[in-house]
């Protein structure tokens, strides 16, 4: 007979593999870490048809699994039900009978002692069954409700009205989830402190567990064939290009920063690397020196052969994995103050902090023209190796799961 104390139900709003975008990098590494010492039962949605080829990888890691197809276009229509039920739109978006039935069946058959939920919309499958679990840990990742507030502040009506509503409704729901959870986890101390202020009734059970980085995978020691063809200097931005803060960042950079860079270095190139580019991003392909790749198999060659990684985010939540990856590969990183939230590093020694166009151009000049530009990349790599190992970061997660209520 198996020991149910070792069984853990892991729910995620998106299949946690491959680790090729921010939320999947975190969810996969947490899943892998937990599965090393527990029997993990995974339930998740698959919203990208390309990801079905990876389910066997997760079946090898987990015990029981449930993968449910999710059609984002159809679910956006279903999400509108929230306007009539008074809910945050995120909840009906992820409400699914197949997933609910699987969770109910698993809890009845395996009686897992612990539940780990990644993304608060998935907590709707746990709350009705809360007494069944000894420990319920909720990984909010970041304060998603505050992202909608930022969207509302930056958009015109009627989007601003819808986004403001989502901020208010989602925060109300997240507070309810946090009240039920034994521990609520966020990706940085800044995010944790923000949520403590927004949900003071749960403040003592809100913790920060930062992202790590796989320094063996993201390493400057590997030889990659260059994807570039003679441009210089080369600046690269990596990320999901259907994510609005990324779209905003690259469109602003292309309009307000890159012309100044091209005026100084006529062969300069800006590569936008990431899947799902929106129409606004695809339009940038026609501008001199700007290249939009779409989805690539491996971002590392693009980072390895670039002169610098640029991360000019104006709206940001949580920890930016693109910064950790660039630093781990010993590349100079030029990032906005917003993008650096939650990342411990020494500005000017291990990376550049630059917000305005003039500051970014000055940082590029240092990368291109300073004879010891490689020194910063080496310092950045050392920071990642010494302080950002995944298992070290996740030791606190083990402590929370092993604690008594």
User: Residue 8 belongs to a domain with what CATH number?
Assistant: 3.40.50.2000
99 close to 44: Cβ distance less than 8 angstroms:
no
What gap in Å lies between CA 147 and CA 143, rounded to an integer? 7
User: Is residue 221's pLDDT more than 60?
Assistant: yes
For the segment 100-126, the average pLDDT, to the nearest whole number, is 97
What gap in Å lies between CA 177 and CA 91, rounded to an integer? 12
User: Is residue 378's pLDDT more than 90?
Assistant: yes
Is residue 223 included in any domain, yes or no?
no
Task: Please give the tally of structural domains in the chain.
Answer: 2
What gap in Å lies between CA 311 and CA 334, rounded to an integer? 6
Q: 396 and 373 in one domain?
A: no
Q: For position 1, what pLDDT does the model report?
A: 44
Q: 30 and 20 in one domain?
A: yes
Q: For position 2, what pLDDT does the model report?
A: 57
> Structural domain of residue 189, as residue ranges?
4-211+389-402
Q: 159 and 11 in one domain?
A: yes
Is residue 65 included in any domain, yes or no?
yes
Question: How many residues are recorded in the chain?
Answer: 405
Q: For position 79, what pLDDT does the model report?
A: 86
pLDDT digits (tens, 9 = 90+) for 240-265: 999 999 999 999 999 999 999 999 99
Whether residue 366 has a cis bond before it, omega within 30° of 0: no
CA 92 to chain centre: 22
Q: For position 4, what pLDDT does the model report?
A: 65
Say what percent of the chain tops pLDDT 70: 98
Q: 311 and 251 in one domain?
A: yes
pTM (2 d.p.): 0.87
Is residue 173 included in any domain, yes or no?
yes
Spatial strand order in the sheet of 290-294: 290-294, 269-273, 234-238, 308-311, 333-335, 352-353
Question: 354-368 in b/e burial notation, b at 16+ Cβ within 10 A?
Answer: beebeebbebbebbb
Q: 182 and 106 in one domain?
A: yes
pLDDT digits (tens, 9 = 90+) for 265-284: 999 999 999 999 999 999 99
Q: Is the dihedral of CA 250, 252, 258, 259 positive or negative?
A: positive
């Amino acid at each position: 007979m198996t020991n149910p104390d070792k069984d853990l139900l892991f729910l995620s709003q998106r299949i946690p593999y491959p680790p090729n975008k921010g939320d999947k990098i975190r969810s996969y590494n947490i899943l892998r870490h937990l599965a090393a010492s527990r029997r993990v039962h995974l339930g998740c949605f698959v919203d990208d048809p390309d990801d079905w080829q990876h389910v066997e990888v997760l079946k090898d890691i987990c015990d029981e699994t449930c993968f449910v197809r999710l059609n984002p276009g159809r679910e956006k229509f279903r999400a509108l039900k929230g306007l009539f039920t008074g809910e945050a739109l995120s909840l009906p978006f992820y409400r699914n009978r197949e997933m609910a039935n699987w969770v109910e069946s698993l809890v009845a058959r395996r009686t897992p002692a612990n539940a780990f939920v990644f993304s608060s919309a998935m907590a709707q499958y746990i709350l009705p069954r809360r007494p069944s679990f000894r420990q319920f840990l909720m990984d909010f990742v970041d304060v998603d409700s505050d992202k909608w507030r930022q969207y509302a502040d930056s958009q015109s009506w009627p989007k601003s009205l819808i986004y403001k509503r989502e901020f208010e409704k989602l925060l109300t729901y997240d507070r309810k989830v946090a009240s039920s959870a034994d521990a609520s986890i966020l990706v940085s101390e800044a995010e944790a402190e923000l949520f403590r202020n927004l949900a003071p009734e749960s403040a003592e059970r809100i913790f920060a567990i930062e992202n790590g980085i796989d320094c063996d995978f993201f390493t400057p020691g590997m030889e990659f064939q260059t994807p570039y063809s003679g441009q210089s200097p080369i600046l690269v931005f990596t990320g999901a290009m259907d994510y609005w803060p990324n779209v905003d960042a690259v469109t602003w950079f292309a309009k307000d920063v890159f012309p100044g860079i091209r005026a100084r270095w006529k062969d300069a190139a800006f590569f936008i690397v990431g899947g799902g580019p929106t129409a606004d991003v695809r339009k940038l392909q026609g501008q001199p020196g700007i290249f939009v790749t779409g989805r690539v198999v491996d971002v590392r060659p693009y980072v390895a052969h670039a002169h610098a990684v640029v991360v000019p985010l104006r709206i940001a939540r949580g920890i930016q994995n693109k910064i950790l990856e660039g630093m781990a590969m010993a590349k100079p990183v030029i990032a906005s103050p917003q993008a650096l939230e939650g990342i411990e590093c020494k500005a000017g020694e291990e990376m550049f902090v630059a917000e305005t166009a003039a500051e970014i151009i000055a940082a590029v000049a240092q990368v291109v023209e300073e004879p010891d530009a490689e020194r910063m990349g080496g310092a950045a790599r050392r920071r990642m190796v010494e302080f950002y190992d995944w298992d070290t970061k996740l030791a606190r997660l083990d402590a929370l799961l092993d604690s008594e209520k």
